[in-house]
């Protein structure tokens, strides 16, 4: 990380024109702090006239020291995947609804940002998963995931069958609606809906959470972040692998999905008063009762 | 039920030509007991030359006193839905793999059947659900279900939203992968995979089991079999309602699904040594440990 | 039920002297409606001078048409067990915290009560369980329960073992912390904590919910309210059976606990705007999320 | 670890005289390999005449290079706690029932042991938890745990209340039967019964699993092995903290339990064909179905 930050990217939620006004306001504030402001080209389409540098997203990461993302956790996930190879740290700003990754709000942003841009922040490294789909020993698809890789039946009504291996060893055959391979970040997303444990985001672990397994004796499993996971499809068709609800690929019988930790992490910067557990209680009503 | 049984239907699993030999063997045995044997026309296509009456399935129910179904639980479910209006009791025969509904096996069948055809059986009435899909107050689809009615996102990657009402009263809004409305019979099928309680098949109740709800505070709910359940779709498209993994219908925004108990039950005949709990332990490894 | 109500009992939470003022206020209001007011003798000890009839609790039920209970659900449960043989309907009034059974609040009570005492109410019959503990074929203890009967290890650190039978048939052997046998009323109490399904209070069913079973393949089971349940203790000592967290009895090896539905139900009267599901959402944050 | 092993301890299950014969047989075999055999004094009481060195358990660890434990996982846990400060690696031998830690059987032991004593093994380091109970800032109890630390209501019938903090930060208040703080080793023990995820034993993490929490919105949490956990008792009495079902201590209101990872790990040696996942499938019937 290059400190102090001298150039900053501003990236807004996709297809959200109402981001224009707060984003321009923020850009003006940052410029006034003598920061070089860069806007990605998609965001720029909503901004009208403005004096800031515009670059395509895949070049933004090469020129800025830090990126500020306005949107929800979903937007930050998408940007983090895109910028992961450039090691640019990210600051997430939500538009009203608290997120696990976007814990600044537009209201209080200027004071918090000033402190953070001066180096007063908590950096957090969050792992990504990298997945390759092999068909007859040839890679036919690959993708990154921040939250989870999901193997799921598509529109078919019956369960799918697959085998799971870890580091070359047989783990289990399963008949289920699917399987979630989740990072700690993803443990509060789809994996939580399917009954997985909550994993602190700092952990170097991967959780396997079955989706509606057709057995009474299934249970989530947490393994090392260094594990090599393989899923072998035993269902002829209509099975899909999804990445962060973002991209997907349709699978065939005997396709092999290989999932490992990505060598790069995403680096999220939080303000000093950030509390993961506070967000967990506020956002998920964790352990709340009357 | 007309006792003693004088005419009996033989119905085999769909698209399973290997059913021919045991079915002909069984037909011969029944004929030798002076029973009139009827075979449904689909099953008959596998049988070659034979002396038995052949009728389409929708007419079989009108002429026989009892129907013997060879196949698994899935086959029996399909036949039960088709014959439910004719009140014909059913006897299920599995081909090796124990079922909840098909608890006779081909091996021991002759002795057991003799006793049962003479009236020595345990009759069991299993409820069905009837569902109407309303669009702008017009019924656009209807179907029966023996196990469950499932509202489920199709191939879309995000959660669906819907409201559930019971007897006209608001129950909850939910964001989830879907919802299972299950009969007691269905409680050992998909509802079990999604975490529902096991319901004894004799109960007059309906269970609502959420599928991967996006909240920590969801829980299955068991209500009276006389409840009127309504599900209002709040997701624009790509949502599907399925009936017993058998038929389905694609839903639109604001479609209303009305689910009630069907006035007719299916009547399954079991041998005297039938035990539901034995099947539960054997088939689902319920409460088994080393 | 004798309508219109002419005599009414007022019963306050045990060891809660602050119940005195609202209770006297309520008594005055009821007297002004020409109702004969009876106070149970325990409650009376907190009231100072007053003009109302005082009777021991076990005689109250024989002289009044309806009993109003001030306290929480726990208080109402205790009174319901005591009065169950007298078939006196109960009205529950909470002191601020909404209950499933106590859905009137002191604030709005006069208007609601007037309507209810004139017959404008929703009666709800809630089952009780009756339990006998047999030791060498002799009954050594018996008790009623409104919520649940719990077999639980006491202070011992290891699991207990027991066999469960239903209607004379073997259900399972289990090694666990214990077992909850719950009424529908109890399904939102301890059974909910242990993972059981929520059962609508009108149902005539019993739910068996294992507590920390030492197996992956356990699941709650819902059976008919007419079932005869037997639990056979296979652990030498330090096992306890509890009734509604109210009374308990210490068990020995081979003790047999026989649980059936009590012939009498408790009758709770609710105001016309009562909603069980509203209470479920408000009190248990059921299906709530941000 | 001192290789090659020159002296070996033999330690048998406590109060299990039938261990004598196989243990003497094993001692003879080891002596014949020119290993110096030491027997702990408790085990020796069952052996009659024999030529081997006898030492109290707390001195055994100081003189041997490796300890072989005959018994189940429970026995190995007890010995591991006792020997943890001496860094002696352990080999577990079960008497017929496969264990997670005791994966040699008496039948095949000689061949496997020969290989292992020659250095052909998989070493596995398993964390221990160290716990201090503070009362008015004074330590009143401390203990090690290999599986889990459990805070649990004793014989009282109501829930207990406590606050949990992590690294000085408030996590949650909880009303529950108790809380399990589990190592990865413990994730297949009591934590599994209470619904926790399975954690691979190599992980440096701690899992918090609530026991029958009185809320719908609880969920297991996995945190770093370097976390400092504090549990503050908010229930006046009758609460107990237990360590591996081995020792316990009775708590009072405001007692503070501080749990951290112990600086030493236990080192278990496995044969080369050891598979944790195989044991999981065999012993827990994990993901098994018909």
Domain at D52, CATH number: 3.40.50.10330
pLDDT at A84: 80
One domain for residues D114 and D154 = no
Report d(CA C54, CA C68) in Å as an integer.
Answer: 15
C-contacting residues of B 224-243, CB under 8 Å?
224
pLDDT at C157: 66
One domain for residues C96 and C162 = no
Which residues touch D215 (CB under 8 Å, ≥6 apart)? A287, A288, A289, B217, C284, C285, D174, D175
CB contact under 8 A, B213 and C287: yes
Any C CB within 8 A of B286 CB: yes
Give the percent of chain B with pLDDT over 90.
80
CB contact under 8 A, A285 and C283: no
One domain for residues A113 and A165 = no
pLDDT in tens, C234-274: 998 889 999 998 899 999 999 999 999 999 999 999 999 99
One domain for residues A96 and A137 = no
pLDDT at D281: 94
Report d(CA B2, CA B117) in Å as an integer.
Answer: 11
Any B CB within 8 A of C206 CB: no
Radius of gyration of chain B (CA): 20
Which of A94, A174, A216, A221 is most worth mutating to test chain C (most C CB atoms within 10 A of its CB)?
A216
pLDDT at D15: 86
Report d(CA B9, CA B90) in Å as an integer.
Answer: 9
Report d(CA C204, CA C221) in Å as an integer.
Answer: 14
Report d(CA A8, CA B156) in Å as an integer.
Answer: 35
pLDDT-based confidence at D25, cuts 50/70/90? Answer: very high
Which residues touch A113 (CB under 8 Å, ≥6 apart)? A29, A30, A68, A91, A104
A283, pLDDT greater than 80: yes
Facing residue for B155 by CB, picked from A193, A240, A285? A240
B107, pLDDT greater than 90: no
Any C CB within 8 A of D24 CB: no
B-contacting residues of D 169-188, CB under 8 Å?
none
B14, pLDDT greater than 90: no
pLDDT in tens, A26-67: 999 999 999 999 999 999 998 889 999 999 999 999 999 999
List phi, psi (to 5°) of A81: -60, -45
Average pLDDT over residues B147-157: 87
The token duo for D27 is 């001692």
Neighbours of D218 (CB within 10 A): 24
Give the percent of chain A with pLDDT over 70.
99
One domain for residues D138 and D234 = yes
Any B CB within 8 A of D97 CB: yes
pLDDT at C250: 94
Positive or negative CA dihedral for C154, C159, C162, C164?
A: positive
CB contact under 8 A, D285 and C240: no
Facing residue for C197 by CB, picked from B171, B216, B222? B222
- Give this prediction's pTM: 0.96
Give the percent of chain D with pLDDT over 70.
99
Minimal C-alpha gap between A178 and chain B (Å): 11
Residues in chain D closer than 8 A to B210 (CB atoms) = none
pLDDT at D290: 60
| Cα distances (Å, whole numbers) of residue D114 to C97, C156, D107, D275 | 68, 41, 14, 19
Query: How many domains, in total, are found in chain B?
Result: 2
CB contact under 8 A, A222 and D214: no
Residues in chain D closer than 8 A to C211 (CB atoms) = 177, 212
Catalytic residue, candidates B40, B65, B73, B244: B73
A: neighbours with 3+ CB pairs under 8 Å?
A: B, C, D
Closest among C102, C178, C191 to C148, alpha carbons compared: C191
pLDDT-based confidence at A101, cuts 50/70/90? Answer: very high
Between A73-87, C186-200, D183-197, the lowest mean confidence (pLDDT) is in A73-87
Which residues of chain C register pLDDT less than 70? 157, 290
One domain for residues D121 and D232 = no
C186 by DSSP, 3-state: which?
helix
Closest among C15, C13, C14, C10 to C25, alpha carbons compared: C10
- The CATH number of residue B236's host domain is 2.60.200.30
Facing residue for B240 by CB, picked from A155, A194, A285? A155
D: neighbours with 3+ CB pairs under 8 Å?
A: A, B, C
pLDDT in tens, D235-279: 988 899 999 988 999 999 999 999 999 999 999 999 999 999 999
Has residue B158 been placed in a domain? yes
Give the percent of chain A with pLDDT over 90.
80
Average pLDDT over residues B56-60: 93
Report d(CA D57, CA A104) in Å as an integer.
Answer: 57
Cβ contact D163:D232 at 8 Å: yes
B: neighbours with 3+ CB pairs under 8 Å?
A: A, C, D
Q: Sheet containing D148-153: which strands, arranged edge to edge?
A: A198-199, D221-224, D205-211, D178-182, D148-153, D239-243, D247-251
Half-sphere exposure of B185 (CA within 13 A, CB side): 26
Crossing angle between the packed helical segments A109-117 and A20-32, to the nearest 10 degrees: 40
Q: Sheet containing C247-251: which strands, arranged edge to edge?
A: B198-199, C221-224, C205-211, C178-182, C148-153, C239-243, C247-251
Closest among A129, A6, A150, A146 to A65, alpha carbons compared: A6
pLDDT at A52: 96
D157, pLDDT greater than 90: no
B1, pLDDT greater than 80: no
A187, pLDDT greater than 90: yes
Average pLDDT over residues D20-42: 94
Has residue D160 been placed in a domain? yes
Average pLDDT over residues A195-203: 97
Cβ contact A280:A286 at 8 Å: yes
One domain for residues B239 and B142 = yes
pLDDT at B86: 80
| Cα distances (Å, whole numbers) of residue D120 to A91, A175, D112, D115 | 50, 37, 9, 5
Cβ contact D280:D188 at 8 Å: yes
CB contact under 8 A, D157 and C285: no
Has residue A289 been placed in a domain? no
A157 by DSSP, 3-state: which?
coil
Which of C216, C219, C283 is most worth mutating to test chain A (most A CB atoms within 10 A of its CB)?
C216
Average pLDDT over residues B266-284: 94
One domain for residues C133 and C243 = yes
pLDDT at B157: 66
Average pLDDT over residues D133-156: 93
CB contact under 8 A, B222 and C205: yes
Q: Is A73 among the residues known to form the active site? A: yes
Has residue D290 been placed in a domain? no
One domain for residues D134 and D88 = no
Cβ contact C271:C115 at 8 Å: yes
Cβ contact B267:B161 at 8 Å: no
pLDDT at A157: 66
One domain for residues B46 and B121 = yes
Give the percent of chain B with pLDDT over 70.
99
The DSSP secondary-structure symbol of B96 reads S
Has residue C1 been placed in a domain? no
Q: Which domain holds residue D194?
A: 129-261
Has residue C182 been placed in a domain? yes
B193, pLDDT greater than 90: yes
pLDDT-based confidence at A126, cuts 50/70/90? Answer: very high
Average pLDDT over residues D186-204: 97
Any C CB within 8 A of A289 CB: yes
For tokens 């975490």, the residue is B195
List phi, psi (to 5°) of C223: -125, 175
Radius of gyration of chain A (CA): 20
Has residue D2 been placed in a domain? no
Minimal C-alpha gap between A89 and chain D (Å): 23
Average pLDDT over residues A151-161: 84
| String of DSSP letters for C18-29 | GGHHHHHHHHHH
Report d(CA A37, CA A26) in Å as an integer.
Answer: 10
One domain for residues A137 and A251 = yes
Between B194-203, C199-208, D39-48, the lowest mean confidence (pLDDT) is in D39-48
One domain for residues B167 and B278 = no
Average pLDDT over residues B273-290: 90
Cβ contact B185:B126 at 8 Å: yes
B145 by DSSP, 3-state: which?
strand
Has residue A174 been placed in a domain? yes
D182 by DSSP, 3-state: which?
strand
């Amino acid at each position: 990380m290059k400190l102090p930050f001298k150039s900053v990217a501003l990236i807004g939620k996709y297809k959200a024109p109402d981001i224009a006004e707060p984003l321009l306001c923020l850009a003006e504030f940052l410029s006034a702090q003598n920061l070089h402001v860069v806007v990605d080209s998609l965001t720029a389409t909503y901004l009208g006239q403005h004096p800031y540098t515009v670059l395509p997203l895949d070049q933004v990461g090469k020129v800025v020291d830090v990126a500020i993302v306005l949107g929800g956790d979903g937007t930050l996930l998408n940007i983090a995947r895109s910028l992961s190879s450039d090691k640019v740290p990210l600051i997430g700003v939500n538009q009203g609804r608290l997120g696990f990754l976007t814990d600044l709000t537009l209201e209080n942003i200027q004071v918090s940002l000033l402190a953070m841009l001066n180096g007063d922040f908590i950096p957090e490294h969050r792992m990504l998963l990298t997945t390759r789909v092999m068909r007859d020993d040839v890679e036919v698809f690959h993708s990154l995931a921040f939250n989870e890789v999901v193997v799921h039946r598509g529109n078919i009504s019956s369960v799918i069958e697959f085998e799971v291996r870890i580091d070359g060893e047989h783990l289990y055959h399963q008949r289920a609606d699917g399987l979630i391979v989740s990072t700690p970040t993803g443990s509060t997303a789809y994996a939580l809906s399917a009954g997985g444990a909550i994993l602190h985001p700092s952990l170097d672990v991967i959780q396997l959470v079955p989706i509606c397994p057709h057995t009474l004796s299934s249970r989530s499993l947490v393994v090392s972040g260094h594990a090599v996971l393989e899923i072998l499809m035993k269902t002829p068709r209509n099975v899909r692998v999804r990445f962060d609800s973002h991209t997907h690929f349709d699978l065939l019988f005997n396709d092999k999905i290989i999932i490992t930790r990505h060598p790069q992490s995403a680096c999220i910067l939080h303000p000093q008063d950030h509390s993961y557990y506070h967000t967990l209680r506020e956002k998920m009503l964790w352990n709340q009762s009357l």
